């Protein structure tokens, strides 16, 4: 029996990396797509709990949802496929998810939500300036095939990023460091009220050996295992010496 693969994203139904990823996954198994009905970038790991979410069938095995990327993964697994899922893939995101990006990323959140339901998952992202997805979807197919063959440990997902142009062999590396602007833009509306834009100047990256940031800069795809357990184990012993 062919594997059942759920495809999600945070770029929504019109995300340019969606069709290439779904097409690549169809070479591995039966694909079901559940994505937001609009772009939900930087939604992080949010679930919609205080209003109804509505699922719309666009065509066979293709659905949109007026919810977050994590909502898409959760409903896709529990409601549409009834937990008969072998792999969840998220992306291919238009823009990197490197270093601290994974905290904000809806792409990564969809994969993380799958792992919370004990389904293996991979998040795929690529250079925001690249308009071609042939190379990244080809590598996504190879990586997904390895995950289906070898499995992943409980509580672990893979975060994969692709550079622009020719993609060199993926390297397994740790998260790097990204530096975000601290600017907040304040503006006034016609009635004298204030509103704000949080998006600042372009994110910069710190090159450090063995990180996803450096790997991408060198033209390789990066593969980073992320764990659900965020405990800082090195700090446990230190905290036990504190007098609370």
CATH number of the domain at 72, please.
3.40.1210.10
Query: Is residue 78 in a domain?
Result: yes
**How many structural domains is the chain composed of?**
1
Query: Is residue 102 in a domain?
Result: yes
Residue 184 pLDDT:
82
Query: Is residue 181 in a domain?
Result: no
Residue 195 pLDDT:
86
> Which CA distances in Å does 229 have to 12, 43, 158, 183?
28, 20, 14, 31
Query: Is residue 185 in a domain?
Result: no
Residue 229 pLDDT:
96
Residue 183 pLDDT:
76
Share of the chain above pLDDT 90, in %: 81
Find the domain containing 31 and state its range: 4-176+209-229
Taking only the tens place, the pLDDT of each residue in 108-132 is: 999 999 999 999 999 999 999 998 9
* Residue 200: band (very low, low, confident or very high) from pLDDT cuts 50, 70, 90: low
Query: Is residue 244 in a domain?
Result: no
Query: Is residue 216 in a domain?
Result: yes
Taking only the tens place, the pLDDT of each residue in 159-180 is: 999 998 889 999 999 999 887 7
- Mean pLDDT, the chain, rounded, equals 93
Asked whether 70 and 49 are in contact (CB, 8 A), the reply is no
Phi, psi of 150 (to 5 degrees): -105, -20
* Residue 107: band (very low, low, confident or very high) from pLDDT cuts 50, 70, 90: very high
Tokens of 161: 């990023």
Q: Is 23 left (phi over 0), alpha (psi -120 to 50) or beta?
A: alpha
Taking only the tens place, the pLDDT of each residue in 31-51 is: 999 999 999 988 889 999 999
Taking only the tens place, the pLDDT of each residue in 58-99 is: 999 999 999 999 999 999 999 999 989 999 999 999 999 999
Tokens of 203: 């994110």
* Residue 137: band (very low, low, confident or very high) from pLDDT cuts 50, 70, 90: very high
Query: Is residue 20 in a domain?
Result: yes
């Amino acid at each position: 029996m062919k594997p059942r693969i759920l495809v999600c994203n945070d770029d929504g139904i019109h995300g340019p990396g969606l069709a290439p990823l779904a097409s690549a996954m169809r070479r591995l198994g039966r694909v079901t797509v559940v994505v937001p009905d609009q772009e939900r970038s930087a939604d992080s790991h949010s679930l919609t709990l205080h209003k109804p979410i509505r699922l719309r069938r666009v065509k066979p095995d293709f659905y949109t949802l007026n919810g977050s990327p994590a909502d898409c993964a959760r409903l896709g697994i529990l409601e549409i496929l009834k937990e008969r899922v072998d792999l969840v893939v998220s992306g291919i995101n238009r823009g990197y998810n490197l270093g601290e990006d994974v905290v904000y990323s809806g792409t990564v959140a969809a994969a993380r939500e799958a792992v919370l339901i004990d389904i293996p998952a991979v998040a795929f992202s690529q250079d925001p300036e690249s308009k071609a997805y042939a190379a990244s979807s080809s590598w996504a197919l190879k990586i997904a095939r390895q995950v289906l063959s070898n499995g992943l440990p409980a509580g672990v997902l893979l975060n994969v990023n692709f550079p622009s142009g020719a993609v060199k062999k993926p390297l397994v590396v740790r998260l790097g460091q990204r530096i975000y602007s601290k600017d907040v833009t304040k503006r006034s509306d016609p009635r004298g009220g204030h509103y704000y834009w949080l998006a600042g100047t372009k994110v910069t990256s710190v090159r450090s050996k063995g990180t996803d940031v450096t790997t991408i800069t060198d033209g390789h795809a990066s593969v980073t295992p992320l764990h659900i357990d965020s405990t800082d184990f090195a700090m446990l012993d230190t905290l036990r010496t504190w007098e609370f």
